Amino acid sequence: MAAPRSPLDRTHPGLIAATAVVYLFLLGPLVIVFGAAFSNTTFLAFPPQGLSLRWFENAFANSAFRASFVTSMQVAFGGTGLALLLGVPAAYAMSRYRVQLPKALSVMFVLPILIPEIVAGFSMLRFLQVSLGLPVVAALLLGHALLVLPYTVRVIGASLAAFDFSAEEAAISLGSPPLKTFVTIVLPNIRSGVIAAFVLAFITSLNDVSISVFLTGPGVSTLPIQILSYVEQFFDPTVASVSVLLMVLTVAVMAAVERTLGLTTFTK
């Protein structure tokens, strides 16, 4: 007689079916956007009645979409770059000098996640643009840098936690200057953390609505905000094709990460 298998060792078929439905729910709508983007009708319908690229042409011909894409790229690269520039030293200080620093400091770097983005956005509008008189792009850059700072500090902090600082001490005791030691010894060891932080921050910035909706001004908009205001006026498949282009960009970034690091980086 075979050993009795516990019913717990296999997953109940009902649960598997339910999970299949959940995944259909997660991925189906994105497939529908894809279909709508290639349709040849002037209204949004799925499945498309015929295929065409006219809505992609329409999206590319739209100067507001083009301009907002450029702004989004500038803000995402600039904001992420700034966040890394500030986040790497902060994460380093917190891992390296843990004993000397008050614990409450880490709360400061979680604050951007704790405070609702919509509140942060409104407050930045009042403080940065109205009180301090910063121009739109500068305020957007600072706002996005703040938005993604926690990701850089946390992801790089996690890589630093696995780094053995005695290697750095050895180099310094042998006479290597601190900055050079950081660049040649520490940085190469946390490379994957820096890349993961960059990608996570970049995508977060690229998709941000709640902060940007307050900080964008007349003539300067980011892509998600431009999509938002287009959808409120027109209901045609142009936005579907812009969405497809954004998804393709995301897939490209994800594929690049997958090849260098493996996607499980995102779940840590």
Closest CA to 153 of 83, 76, 205: 83
From the list 69, 71, 78, 143, which residue makes contact with another protein (rule: CB under 8 A)? 143
Least Å from the CB of residue 15 to another protein: 5
Distance of alpha carbon 167 from alpha carbon 163, whole angstroms: 9
Q: Is 246 in the site for another protein (CB under 8 A)?
A: yes
CA atoms within a 13 Å half-sphere pointing along the CA-CB vector of 84: 19
- 3-class state of residue 246 by DSSP: helix
- Looking at the Cβ atoms of 67 and 172, the one nearer to another protein is 172
Residues 119-138 that bind another protein (CB under 8 A): 119-120, 122-128, 131
Q: How many residues does the chain have?
A: 268
From the list 158, 220, 254, 261, which residue makes contact with another protein (rule: CB under 8 A)? 254
Least Å from the CB of residue 133 to another protein: 14
From the list 1, 3, 104, 114, which residue makes contact with another protein (rule: CB under 8 A)? 114
N- to C-terminal Cα distance for the chain?
44
Q: Are 157 and 94 in contact (CB under 8 A)?
A: yes
Least Å from the CB of residue 198 to another protein: 14
Q: Is 22 in the site for another protein (CB under 8 A)?
A: yes
Q: Is 11 in the site for another protein (CB under 8 A)?
A: yes
Q: Is 109 in the site for another protein (CB under 8 A)?
A: yes
How far is residue 27 CA from its own chain's centroid? 19
From the list 51, 53, 108, 183, which residue makes contact with another protein (rule: CB under 8 A)? 108
Least Å from the CB of residue 63 to another protein: 20
From the list 51, 70, 85, 170, which residue makes contact with another protein (rule: CB under 8 A)? 85
From the list 60, 77, 163, 266, which residue makes contact with another protein (rule: CB under 8 A)? 266
From the list 48, 112, 157, 193, which residue makes contact with another protein (rule: CB under 8 A)? 112
Least Å from the CB of residue 191 to another protein: 19
Instruction: List the beta bridge partners of residue 51.
Output: 39
- Spell out, one character per residue from 33 to 72, where the chain touches another protein: x when CB under 8 A holds, - when not: x--x------xxxx--------------------------
Q: Are 50 and 40 in contact (CB under 8 A)?
A: yes
Least Å from the CB of residue 57 to another protein: 19
Distance of alpha carbon 261 from alpha carbon 255, whole angstroms: 10
Distance of alpha carbon 253 from alpha carbon 263, whole angstroms: 11
| Whole-Å CA distances, 25 to 19, 31, 256, 258, 263 | 10, 11, 26, 24, 22
User: What's the token pair of residue 92?
Assistant: 């380093």
Q: Are 112 and 178 in contact (CB under 8 A)?
A: no
Q: Are 155 and 193 in contact (CB under 8 A)?
A: yes
Residues 165-224 that bind another protein (CB under 8 A): 203, 206-207, 209-210, 213-214, 224
